[in-house]
Amino acid sequence: MLTEVTHAKRLAALRAELARLDIDGLLVPRSDEYLGEYVPPSAERLAWLTGFTGSAGMAIVLAERAAVFTDGRYTTQVASQTDPALWERLHIIEQPAQEWLAEHAAGRSIGYDPWLHAQAAVERLAASGVRLVPLAANPLDAVWHDRPAAPRTQAMPQPAEFAGQGSAEKRAELAAALRQAGEDTAVLADPHSLAWLLNIRGADLEYTPLALGFALLHSNATVDLFMEPSKVPEATRAHLGNAVVVHPPVGLPTILAGLAGQAVRLDPESTPAWFAATLREAGATLRPGEDPCRLPRACKNPVEQAGARAAHRRDAVAMARFLAWFTAEAPRGGVTEMSAADRLLAFRREVPMFRAESFPAISGAGENGAIVHYRATEATNRAVRVNECYLVDSGGQYTDGTTDITRTLWTGPGTPPADLVERYTRVLRGHVALATLRFPQGVAGPHIDAVARAPLWEAGLDYDHGTGHGIGSFLSVHEGPVSISRAARPIPVRAGMILSDEPGYYQPGAYGIRIENLLLARPAAEQPGQVKPFLEFETLTLVPYERRLIGVALLTPAERAWVDAYHARVLAEVGEKVEPAVRDWLAEACAPL
């Protein structure tokens, strides 16, 4: 286990390197050059420097002070993992980095690695009044002497039976859109776009099946793919075809230089600032615009939708086995947060087509459940005690789909406290309200966020995270562009999108409540007199709720009927796929309220 002394020495070494370079400070983001949520060990710079291991955050290092910023999901975690003598711990929404820079570093030179920051993010930080200096090499890497090697797993084809549409067809459709917009080339800096457009997957990241790389999509439907050649075996090259040319990443500057005079689309929110600077120097005309793969990727085609349903049915078998086991074992003692997560992973591994977890399981008992993105470690792992709340948020990567589910459980055998039941039931009511919502086409994620919060707001309660995020198709468990959050961009929900429905409530030092299902947006049946098209949600997740925490009298008749109908569906679709003992447990868990 690393000590405070270790992180103090690392911070001191970095400051010495900044002094050598004659710059006043450095931005240290959580991201790697692909700007994704999950990064390989070789890119865990923020964790190496600060000790904070969350998936979102940034540090700013000056000679005399330093700060680490994160959002509401991680405020408790960052406080427990970082040394207050070294770091100010700040909420990135309430105390934005640009305001901190304006107060403490105005007029000073602040270095940044242009590969690790999106162009738009650099522009926002520059508004703070500091002098941002792009660096040719990252100073932190110069002092990180035992930095792991970058991953180099192979890119493999994603079969058409799961992708639902061939790469050539996708490329032709997007190339036509580029021509219509008067654009010659689009920069694809997001490996998810490569995975979707080229129908390839990889294992460069532990939880997201990506082969890391960059690409240029041209208006003639050809692609220049920048990936180490050793990562692209002959079978994958044959799958890609002659219209996709593989280049080593070191060839990227030369190819970009050849785009002089061309109109190049670049997403300023998801593309490293290095690309914009290099293309400007080459004489290309930059056309700011969203990654052309992002919206089509989010709107799952019929084959991907069928795959998501099938993956959730199989995942439900693993969850039913786990919940039956947990219900029996937790009251006896001997279960820990880590042993519970290990048992759930073991059940998933028995399910056909399982490839990996879709994120590190959040297995939090009692007060640890109140840490929104808690991850049990050897240092924090504790026993799951009798008569307390236990929260488990987990998911699986299957060849035909990605799952993400949260259930809050009561360990029994005693009766849960009335206030816990009341708050769980309010969370459940908000969860049901979103699942049953009908809404006009054109409505965006921020417009429906309040639907899930309303039952909590009635009691003066809330939660400090979004209500829902997009889900990929055997891709990232967190996928844009739509998010059900008041802080999200107002991008309309569209048919084919898969979104999570996960309201919660967290009592620091006591317990956490979150209930999460995945929902598929689809056209709603037309009502008499309807004046515009509407959408609704199909619930994909098939796992019972914790009936011991449901205050039945607090539900409306419609809410109670929906829960009963959902449980009946769970029993019908999952019960026949599990062994008799688990089916008996499932029948009791799914009995009418």
Q: What is the DSSP letter of 72?
A: T
Mean of pLDDT values over 6-34: 97
Q: How confident is the model at residue 3 (pLDDT cuts 50, 70, 90)?
A: low
What pLDDT was estimated at residue 1?
47
- Specify the length of the chain in residues: 593
User: Which of the listed CATH numbers 3.30.465.10, 1.10.3720.10, 3.20.20.450, 3.40.350.10 matches domain 4-143?
Assistant: 3.40.350.10
Residue 5 has pLDDT above 80, yes or no: no
What pLDDT was estimated at residue 446?
97
Residues of the chain with CATH 3.40.350.10: 4-143, 156-297
As a whole number, the mean pLDDT across the chain is: 96
pLDDT in tens, 288-311: 999 999 999 999 999 999 999 999
pLDDT in tens, 177-223: 999 999 999 999 999 999 999 999 999 999 999 999 999 999 999 99
- pTM exceeding the 0.85 threshold for the entire prediction: yes
DSSP for 462-484 reads --SS-SEEE--SSS-SSEEEEEE
In terms of C-beta density within 10 A (0-12 exposed, 13-18 middle, 19 or more buried), how is residue 554 classed?
middle
In terms of C-beta density within 10 A (0-12 exposed, 13-18 middle, 19 or more buried), how is residue 482 classed?
buried
CB 371 within 8 A of CB 512: yes
pLDDT in tens, 459-494: 999 999 999 999 999 999 999 999 999 989 999 999
What pLDDT was estimated at residue 73?
81
CB 232 within 8 A of CB 223: no
CB 125 within 8 A of CB 101: yes
Mean of pLDDT values over 160-187: 98
Mapping DSSP to helix (H, G, I), strand (E, B) and coil, where does residue 329 land?
Answer: helix
Q: How confident is the model at residue 110 (pLDDT cuts 50, 70, 90)?
A: very high
d(CA 576, CA 180): 52
User: Which of the listed CATH numbers 3.40.630.10, 3.30.390.10, 3.40.605.10, 3.40.350.10 matches domain 156-297?
Assistant: 3.40.350.10
What pLDDT was estimated at residue 75?
86
| Contacts for 465 with CB less than 8 Å, ≥ 6 apart | 71, 72, 73, 372, 485, 504
Backbone angles phi, psi at 160, to 5 degrees: -60, -25
| Residue 177: other Cβ atoms inside 10 A | 15
pLDDT in tens, 114-133: 999 998 999 999 999 999 99
Residue 55 has pLDDT above 90, yes or no: no
Mean of pLDDT values over 524-548: 96
**Residue spans of alpha helices (H) in 203-355:** 234-240, 252-257, 273-282, 294-298, 302-329, 337-349
Question: Cis bond leading into 592, ω under 30°?
Answer: no
Percent of residues, the chain, with pLDDT higher than 90: 94
pLDDT in tens, 391-448: 999 999 999 999 999 999 999 899 999 999 999 999 999 999 999 999 999 999 999 9
Residue 2 has pLDDT above 80, yes or no: no
In terms of C-beta density within 10 A (0-12 exposed, 13-18 middle, 19 or more buried), how is residue 207 classed?
middle
What pLDDT was estimated at residue 23?
97
Residue 60 has pLDDT above 90, yes or no: yes
Q: In the structure, how many helices (H) and strands (E) does the chain have?
A: 19, 28
Mean of pLDDT values over 62-78: 91
d(CA 153, CA 309): 29
Mean of pLDDT values over 351-355: 98
CB 80 within 8 A of CB 57: no
What pLDDT was estimated at residue 76?
83
| Contacts for 342 with CB less than 8 Å, ≥ 6 apart | none
Residues of the chain with CATH 3.90.230.10: 299-589
The CATH homologous superfamily to which domain 299-589 belongs is Creatinase/methionine aminopeptidase superfamily (3.90.230.10)
